[in-house]
Amino acid sequence: MAEQPQKTTDFGFRTVARDEKQAMVADVFHSVAAKYDVMNDLMSLGIHRIWKRFTIDCSGVRRGQRVLDLAGGTGDLAAKFSGMVGEHGLVVLADINDSMLKVGRDKLRDRGIVGNISYVQANAEALPFPDNYFDCITIAFGLRNVTEKDKALRSMFRVLKPGGRLLVLEFSKPRLAPLNKAYNAYSFHVLPKIGALVVKDPDSYRYLAESIRMHPDQETLKDMMVNAGFDNVTYFNLTGGIVALHRGFKF
């Protein structure tokens, strides 16, 4: 008998209809967009900058190349790539959420980053770009919010050039039990309080903590990338596995 597609999925710890999740995720990011950057610094004590720096260092991006910063939000990675590809290269900052895109576009324009960067509202599951188009794709802290992750990974594979690489920076599973315990306490007790104080929205930050726990661990995500067609898939645990950077190539 043919396998029936699943009708439900996770939204944090809740089970919701698959076609509802996207709108619920959209509500989270519309709500946090204006304070997203300040919250990132507060919540991670600035460490997200080191994780992103490592991602840039692993990108191999050179002048003249085309880079897609998918689920790019407020554009931290896109801003760095813009300088790396130079005036003959192209950076596309794509995100499904217009509030996040707008904050990103305003921030980058204020910094004088213009010319080689374009902004596209797009769903990672169905990327509106030609086959074999980008030299490098990054998706930082975005994949866990996507409903159809396998479909999104296949879509990224399609638009990546042969020889290109995908970098997935995402929360993952801490390697050591004591770290996991401390991290759980922080995520479920401290994060929603910071969210309540700064954004007046503890629920969005509760979703953040829950969605991290529901996200595939290091080995599962690696298998998903292999199944989507990527070769030489490896990952690097950062900050004890709180975050992992997965890298895969299209040959």
Ligand X SMILES: C[S@@+](CC[C@H](N)C(=O)[O-])C[C@H]1O[C@@H](n2cnc3c(N)ncnc32)[C@H](O)[C@@H]1O
Query: In a 3-state reduction of DSSP, which class is residue 232?
Result: strand
- # binding residues, ligand X (CB under 6 A): 19
At 67, list the tokens: 């880079």
Say how far apart CA 13 and CA 184 lie, in whole Å: 14
Q: Minimal distance in Å, beta carbon 125 to ligand X?
A: 6
> Is 71 a binder of ligand X (CB under 6 A)?
yes
Q: Minimal distance in Å, beta carbon 115 to ligand X?
A: 21
Say how far apart CA 186 and CA 87 lie, in whole Å: 43
Near ligand X by CB under 6 A: residue from 12, 72, 174, 195: 72
- Using CB under 6 A as the binding rule, the residues of this chain from 132 to 171 that contact ligand X are 140-142, 145-146
Q: Which stretch binds ligand X (CB under 6 A): 6-14, 72-80, 156-164, 193-201?
A: 72-80
The interaxial angle of helices 98-110 and 18-32, nearest 10 deg, is: 30
Q: Report which residue type is found at 222.
A: K
Say how far apart CA 98 and CA 120 lie, in whole Å: 9
Alpha helices in the chain (DSSP H): 18-32, 36-44, 48-57, 76-85, 98-110, 149-159, 177-185, 191-198, 202-214, 218-227
Q: Report which residue type is found at 245.
A: L
Q: Which stretch binds ligand X (CB under 6 A): 119-127, 178-186, 211-219, 226-234?
A: 119-127
Say how far apart CA 15 and CA 11 lie, in whole Å: 6
Residue nearest to ligand X (CB): 73
> Is 76 a binder of ligand X (CB under 6 A)?
yes
User: Of 6 and 88, which has the nearer Cβ to ligand X?
Assistant: 6
Say how far apart CA 166 and CA 134 lie, in whole Å: 10
Say how far apart CA 234 and CA 32 lie, in whole Å: 32
Locus of tokens 């030609």? 130
Q: Minimal distance in Å, beta carbon 97 to ligand X?
A: 3
> Is 9 a binder of ligand X (CB under 6 A)?
no
Q: Which stretch binds ligand X (CB under 6 A): 5-13, 80-88, 92-100, 193-201?
A: 92-100
User: Of 135 and 170, which has the nearer Cβ to ligand X?
Assistant: 170
Q: Minimal distance in Å, beta carbon 241 to ligand X?
A: 18
Q: In sequence order, what are the residues at sequence separation of 6 or more whose Cβ sits closer than 8 angstroms to the Cβ of residue 218?
A: 172, 173, 235, 237, 241, 244, 246
Q: Report which residue type is found at 57.
A: D
> Is 201 a binder of ligand X (CB under 6 A)?
no
> Is 191 a binder of ligand X (CB under 6 A)?
no
Near ligand X by CB under 6 A: residue from 11, 25, 160, 221: 25
User: Of 28 and 176, which has the nearer Cβ to ligand X?
Assistant: 28
Binding site for ligand X (CB under 6 A): 25, 29, 71-74, 76, 95-97, 100, 123-125, 140-142, 145-146
